[in-house]
Amino acid sequence: MITRDQALAAISRERDICNHLFTKLSPDSYDYRPGETMRSTRELLRYLSYCGIGGVRGMLDKNFAAWEPLEQQAEAMAIEDFPAAMDRQVQAIREALAPVSDDEFLTRTGPVPGVGPEVPIGEGIVRGVLAWLVAYRMQLFLYAKMSGNPQLGTANCWVGRDPKPRPVEA
């Protein structure tokens, strides 16, 4: 199974990719909504800014009482502060998991919405928190692409950088 430090590295990488994708958004794309019942880009960014730490705290505390205050805090976030909010979230996750040993990561249990009432913290991080960050990062990529950035490609989504320029055909 994955160690705590490996999970933290994967979460940090998702943060980096999300922050890269944020730089591809223009302010007029924040209200983009691909469908009537879907989140807007603004709502997606706000959700991304707390879903990771909300999941970690919920697992460790064995309840999700912290979720609502995190949601309210995100509602007040200026969208331009998204990268800093993502940085704070990763730091909060690091601090929350710091006292959890690798052994506890594999044996201590907690609830994960959509996964189970009691799963090992490490499994919950992978199947919950990391999966959420990957899924919503992909959604952010698609929103960015559909709202006026057709040049975005695989490297933007999976590596968090602009693709290498292609040679011009003569």
Band of residue 1 on the pLDDT scale cut at 50, 70, 90: confident
The CATH number given to 4-158 is 1.20.120.450
- Return the higher-pLDDT residue of 117 and 96: 96
Report the pLDDT value the prediction gives residue 67, as an integer from 0 to 100: 92
CA torsion through residues 17, 100, 117, 64, sign: negative
Question: Average pLDDT, whole number, for the chain?
Answer: 95
- Give the pTM: 0.93
Residue 154 CA to residue 12 CA, distance in Å, equals: 19
Residue ranges per structural domain of the chain: 4-158
